[in-house]
Structure 1
Amino acid sequence: MQFTIQVSVKDDFGETTIEDIISLDKVPDNPDDIGLSLMESKSLLKSLQNLMVSHQAELYTKTHLNCPHCQKKRRIKGHYGIHYRTLFGIVPLSSLRVYNCDCKVIPAKTTSLLTDWIPDHNSPELQYIETKWASLMAYGLTSNLLKDILPVGTALNASTVRNHLHKVAKRQENDLEGKPEYISGCAYEWGNLPKPGKPITVGIDGGYVRNWYEKKTNFEVVAGKSFSKEKAPKRFGFVQKIDDHPRKKLMSMLSDQGMQNNQQITFLSDGADNLRDLQFMMYPESLHILDWFHVTMRFTVLNQFAKGMKKSDPKDGAMIFKDLESAKWYLWHGNVQESLEKIGECCDVCYDDELHYENRKKFYKHLSEMYTYIENNQPMIPNYGERYRYDEIISTAFVESTINEVVAKRMVKKQQMQWSHKGAHYLLQTRTAVLNGDLKNIFSGWYPGLKIEGQAEKQYIPDLNLAA
């Protein structure tokens, strides 16, 4: 049994041609060869794509041979070959180069007609699928999977997919040009705005990935999440060494969530200098809170030292352990000065050279750092107990899952994948766009004629009642 698939092509001039695409021989008695095989379907798609793109290119060349200004026929200089890469194969095309007409002053003497038509030789759909898949799994896996199920061509490899993803990420970065870093407008006019929605909570934290150039070192990537009870969460991420305008990224994300100038926003962070500088002076109606989760982690480390001191210096160790519990209790209730006094007393005890504790100097260093940490972040310390009783968020524990979702799952910390600063930064831009369900809208904005079906990724709305 033979199947022949033909295509009827009718151009804009009314001419119709019928061309054979593929012929398939099937044996009815063979149960293993029923219907189209994957190899046959790939061959069919590749042949059909070649035919369609070739006819479209031929028609475009024919209709654009004349000068667009005076309609005079332009002289032909020559032909050269280009390759248009699509999801359904690489299509070789012959591009016509013509001399520009003298009716208008143009710097270039010649023009390539197909280059004007398709300046990027990679189809938008190919870039979209490569970017989406590579944001969720390794570049090598993406290229292998595409080659398994689609006739993308044997030349596709991990480096090509990575380069295409970086190109998309750079274009995302360019879209931020001209966008504000701060709230604009006059505060007197905000009272006339409609009643804002529920407060928006923004949690920011840092994670670490292994450095490609300095194998034994890591560098920090910043990630975060914003959400409210009325809006689906949005994630963002960047490498601060590469990103010159992180505030634009954060402000753009909040604007996409429908933030108004008079809406309340709560920022939570671990108090690191770079994260504190990112959120301050950005939004006047914002509340800045030092994350209780990270405060508790620091006290846990200090308590471990105090337990060790109890063995060598029972009296002093017990005193410091008790003072640390008091300092933590004072902080929980927002009494920063009393907490600092207790930590200062611990520093005085630990400074004594007569102590027998072998890690005394290290313990003293951690106590001093804790004192400085609380002192520098004093304006960000609320009454945690009161906020907790009113079911208000006090911890960025939800951001820890975001760090795992945005960074660890793709950058594979367990396998110690190594990254350059730019490579990590660009991947974070596309990965957060995919997780937020925004990549489809981004490509639709760049390519209005692009047809992408499928629903956006489902959003996970976390529990707001989180405490350490």
Structure 2
Amino acid sequence: MHWRITLEAVDPIGDGYRKEFMIEKNLDGLADGKLGCSIEDGKAIMKEVQKIIVERQLDLWVRYCRVCPTCKGMLPIKDYNHRKILTVFGEIPVRFPRLMVCQKCNPACCFTFSPAADICKDRATPELLELSAKLGAKFSYREASDLLATFLPDQSARTFTTLRNRTLAIGKRIEEAERQQRWFENLNYPDRMQLELALAGDPASEFVFNVDTAHIPLIKRYGGRTFEAVVGHCGRGGRGDPPGHVFAFEGTHPKKLKVTAALALKGQGHADRGEITVISDGAECLKRLAGMLPQPVAHILDWFHISMKVQPLAQLAATVPKGIVRL
């Protein structure tokens, strides 16, 4: 039994568009309960429908972009590129042109551009990225990949690393978006006039910041430049707590330091209560961090840098002859 599926579209430009494809269903499996379309049939149908729709959408978009906005002429085509776009209903190979700028309106310009290059910059649709990140956050990456491969076409269960990379990339984008939002917010924390009562076993009793700066020198062999980086860790003060938030960024800008510290506190569950301790080497840029965080904040020097100050005295004392009277 052959089934002919026909797709008809009415384009905004008024052209009729019609595509047909065939699927085959036999009657051999009816006695075993194989009635209607199976999951594999549905995946094959949706992949073909997706391919037809994507190709037509790109064709209309290229037609629209070929019209010069000044003289209303048609932009010349230099060559064609090929790309594969990943969608929820399969991997769609597309062919799109590179256009040259209008030589009548811009005779001195000879550069080219691709009107379809800005569509799906990740080579995947946002819907597929969102679905991958949502499943990757709820299940293990391998289980989420198997689930996608079961119901969606061209989603191989063996490429669970791709789903992991998608999930991590979406997480970085969300974190960067929140960072940009907090960059322009006024992060003024209200001063608390009285301290909270210290309760035994309170999970929000203490937050600890370990912050240090590192000077990255210039390596002439590999190029680059000299710069300073801030590396830190924010966690709970109790023993046995899960590892905290690790952060690092270039430069020592106070605004960037404040925004990063605010995101680290939020990641640890800070809710405007609890005492904060900042442990650093005493650098001037890190001393200001104590005043940027919600109060009360205690700033102390770490033992490593204290020992670095004491170590030269210990070495000097070791070289003093035993016969010399010590005052």
Counterpart contact for 1:238–1:246, Cα < 8 Å: no
1:143 equivalent in alignment to 2:145: yes
What amino acid sits opposite 2:138 in the alignment? L
What does residue 279 of structure 2 align with? 273
Q: Secondary structure in 1 aligned to 2:102?
A: coil
Q: Taking structure 1 as reference, are residues 91 and 30 closer, same or farther at Cα in structure 2, changes over 3 Å only? A: same
1:98 partner amino acid: L
Partner of 2:122, secondary structure, is coil
Counterpart pick for 1:240 among 233, 247, 255: 247
Deviations 1:279-311 (A, max 9, x none): 842355x4569xxxxxxxxxxxxxxxxxxxxxx
- Which residue of the partner structure matches residue 41 of structure 1? 42
1:17 is aligned to: 17
- Does the aligned pair in 2 maintain the 1:180–1:251 contact within 8 Å? no
Assess if the C-alpha contact under 8 Å between 1:79 and 1:96 holds in 2.
yes
Name the amino acid aligned to 2:36: G
Post-superposition offset of 1:26: 4.6
Q: Deviations over 1:231-280 (max 9, x none)?
A: xxxxxx7323579857425646999xxxxxxxx921356x5737x99984
Q: Map of 1:265-344 to 2, 5 A cutoff?
A: 265-267=272-274, 273=279, 280-283=290-293, 286-287=295-296
Alignment partner for residue 125 of structure 1, among 101, 124, 127?
127
Residue aligned with 2:7, SS: strand
Amino acid at match of 2:25: D
Task: State the alpha-carbon separation in 1 of the partners of residues 17 and 167 from structure 2.
Answer: 39
> What's 2:220 paired with?
none
1:383-398 pair list within 5 angstroms: none
Amino-acid identity (%): 21
Greater relative contact order, per chain length (Cα 8 Å cut-off, separation 6+): 1
Residues 278, 297 of structure 2: 8 Å contact kept: no
Pairwise mapping of residues 77-156 of structure 1 onto structure 2 (< 5 A)? 77-102=78-103, 103=105, 109-154=111-156
Asked if the contact 1:7–1:18 (Cα under 8 Å) also holds between the matched residues in 2, the reply is yes
Alpha-carbon offset, residue 61 of structure 1: 1.1
Three-state SS of the structure 2 residue aligned to 1:114 is coil
Show CA shifts across 1:86-118 (max 9, x none): 111010110111112353599871111211333
Distance in structure 2 (CA, Å) of the matches to 1:277 and 1:146: 50
Q: 2:234·2:264 contact (CA, 8 Å) conserved in 1?
A: no
- Structure 1: runs of 5 or more not aligned: 188-200, 207-219, 225-236, 256-263, 290-368, 370-468
TM, length-normalised to structure 1: 0.43
Alignment of 1:166-245 (within 5 A): 166-175=168-177, 176-177=179-180, 179-180=182-183, 183-184=186-187, 204=207, 238-241=245-248
Please tell me whether residue 160 in structure 1 is matched to residue 167 in structure 2.
no
| Aligned-residue RMSD, C-alpha | 4.4
Point out the structure with the larger helix share.
1
Amino acid at match of 1:133: L
Amino acid aligned to 1:111: F
* Separation (CA, whole Å) in 2 of partners of 1:106 and 1:248: 46
Matches of 1:247 and 1:87, distance apart in 2? 40
- Taking the aligned partners of 2:181 and 2:109, their CA distance within structure 1 comes to 29
Counterpart mapping for 1:293-442 below 5 A: none
Q: Distance in 2 between matches of 1:82 and 1:58?
A: 14
* Structure 2 CA distance for partners of 1:185 and 1:66, relative to 1, 3 Å: same
2:114 and 2:81 map into 1 onto residues whose CA distance is 9
Determine the C-alpha separation between the residues in 1 that align with 2:35 and 2:265.
Answer: 53
Give 2:56's aligned amino acid. H
Q: Is the 8 A contact 1:3 1:23 kept in 2?
A: yes
Shift in Å at residue 54 of structure 1?
Answer: 0.8
Counterpart in the other structure of 1:453: none
* Matching residue of 2:193: none
Q: Report the 3-state secondary structure (helix = DSSP H, G, I; strand = E; otherwise coil) of the residue aligned with 2:247.
A: coil
8 Å contact kept, 1:181–1:248 = no
Query: After the TM superposition, which of the residue ranges 124-133 and 87-96 deviates more from structure 2?
Result: 124-133
Deviations, residues 155-187 of structure 1 (Å, cap 9, x unaligned): 971332233234323333432247349955698
Distance in 2, matches of 1:23 and 1:7, equals 14
Where structure 2 has 5 or more consecutive residues not aligned to the other structure, the ranges are 191-203, 210-231, 237-243, 281-285, 304-327
Tell me the residue number matched to 2:57.
56
Contact 1:22 1:47 in 2 (8 A): no
The structural deviation recorded for 1:130 is 1.5
1:120 positional shift: 3.0
Q: Is the 8 A contact 2:8 2:17 kept in 1?
A: yes
Q: Describe the shift of the 1:202–1:19 C-alpha distance in structure 2 as closer, same or farther (beyond 3 A).
A: farther
Structure 2-normalised TM-score? 0.59
One-letter amino acid of the structure 2 residue matched with residue 20 of structure 1: E
Aligned residue pairs total 244
Q: What residue in structure 2 maps to residue 377 of structure 1?
A: none
